[in-house]
Amino acid sequence: MSGRLPYPRRPGGALGGPSAGRSVRPLAGVLAATAVSLTGTRVSAVALPWFVLVTTGSAAQTGLVAFCEMTPYVVVKMLTGPLVDRVGPRVVSWATDSLSAAAAALIPLLHALDLLPFWLLLGLVAVIGAVRGPGDLAKAIMVPEAAERSRVSLERATGLSGVTERLASTVGPAAGGVLVALLGPMAGLVVNAVCFALGSLVIALALPRGMGLAVPSGDAPTDGGTGEPAGYWRRFGEGFAFLRGEPLLLTIIVTAGITNLLDVGFTAVLVPVWAESSGGGPAAIGLTSSAAGVAAVCGSLVAAALAPRLRRRPVFFAGFLLAGAPRFVVLACGAPLWVVLVVFAVSGFGGGFLNPILGAVSFERVPRALLGRVRALGDSLAWAGIPLGGLLAGLAVTSAGLTPVLLVGGAMYFLTTNLAGLRPEWREMDRRRGAGTPREAPEGVAVRS
């Protein structure tokens, strides 16, 4: 991605065109849309597993619901990268949020009519996952353009994006826990549908005209010398070829893939089972998530404020050390709730530093014309284990019990993050590329300058 702004300057440093002068509206619009849609998703992440657990009594079926949501999420997200580049992230974002709202609203409606068998619930959850994947991708890849238009540094913008994600992870589970405890899980799913609808409206109405459009034709890849836009599979292959030549990004993806698998098993199955067995109920799920989320917001704010002066690699691995294994161990020890909340808060603070660093590294190293494809492939590979996380955790708890699974999961998390840190590719993380010097795109792909 080039550091030169792709818009003409006026005297005094203002940007020409419709977005002349400094305005935080572009970045604020993207962050607001991200906030409301993620908040709804986090509310659903409490309400839906609890609904399945209390109605079926089965940890395995609870894990199956997570599997049916995340499998299409990962697969469709991976395959729609070229489409997002071609159509434009703005159109993809509001369209997929609208579809997510409709599918999410059907769950409480059909349940109220007593027309929601388990197989239909799985199908609706799969639809939500399938359309949410490209919607999340579209919002993420609008961050660099929003940062440029708002004249905010990329590292600060990714830090603010991390704060937004953490706020959603704080407000969403807290609201979900309260709603489920007071009104039942269906109330949380109604809120999820409303949040998707609001996210769609923010993208459609609040972003400046001309933002989030498709890559201009002069920057898009073409087929041979015909001048016609490149086909889907060529676009897909160019993204894959670029990613294959980035050892640091590939190492990040493998590490994140393992930890994401462990994280989703932890949040989707292990925490709800712990909450039920300990007597804490859905309120305990909301409290633990909120404790981690509040601390993570603080960590993300610190990361956003100090990002240009921090050494990325030591901060990144220190954050992983705090964010991972301690959560598993404290639940396995049967500690009282206040101790669990303290440990989750410390873990959340460490986790708050991770996504801002990863986001800045990714946006620095990928040309704008390839951003949708490369981000889609990278995210999907990093999330490839997520569909299996809840399923495997549910089966493991059913066969071995909660405490052994927590201890094994904590050990795997600790070994993964510490052994990965020995790889030489991580040294590249501290070698910040000037924003104008990303690795060149594959032949035939123009990099927007």
**Any domain includes 305:** yes
**Any domain includes 388:** yes
**Any domain includes 212:** no
Q: pLDDT tier at 249 (50, 70, 90 boundaries)?
A: confident
Q: pLDDT tier at 446 (50, 70, 90 boundaries)?
A: very low
Give me the domain span that covers residue 118. 24-207+231-430
CB-count burial class (<10 Å; 0-12, 13-18, 19+) for 3: middle
**Any domain includes 366:** yes
Range of weakest confidence among 25-39, 73-87, 210-224, 270-284: 210-224
DSSP 223: S
**Any domain includes 364:** yes
The total of structural domains in the chain comes to: 1
**Any domain includes 426:** yes
Report which listed range, 119-128, 351-360, 421-430, is most confident: 119-128
Domain with residue 372: its CATH number is 1.20.1250.20
**Any domain includes 17:** no
Task: From residue 195, give the alpha-carbon distance in Å to each of 35, 200, 239, 262, 352.
Answer: 9, 9, 32, 27, 23
Average pLDDT rounded to a whole number, residues 138-158 = 81
Half-sphere exposure of 266 (CA within 13 A, CB side): 26
Cβ atoms within 10 Å, residue 201: 16
In the numeric block, which tokens belong to residue 111? 């349940």
Per-residue pLDDT, 217: 43
Average pLDDT rounded to a whole number, residues 17-45 = 77
Per-residue pLDDT, 328: 93
Read off the pLDDT of residues 423-441 as tens digits, 9 standing for 90 and up. Answer: 777 777 766 554 434 444 4
Read off the pLDDT of residues 189-200 as tens digits, 9 standing for 90 and up. Answer: 899 899 999 988
Q: Which residues contact 429 (CB under 8 A, 6 or more apart)?
A: 248, 312, 313, 316, 357, 361
Q: State yes or no: pLDDT of 327 exceeds 90.
A: yes
Half-sphere exposure of 437 (CA within 13 A, CB side): 4
Half-sphere exposure of 342 (CA within 13 A, CB side): 6
Half-sphere exposure of 102 (CA within 13 A, CB side): 7
What's this model's pTM, rounded to 2 decimal places? Answer: 0.65
Per-residue pLDDT, 404: 92
**Any domain includes 243:** yes
Q: State yes or no: pLDDT of 223 exceeds 80.
A: no
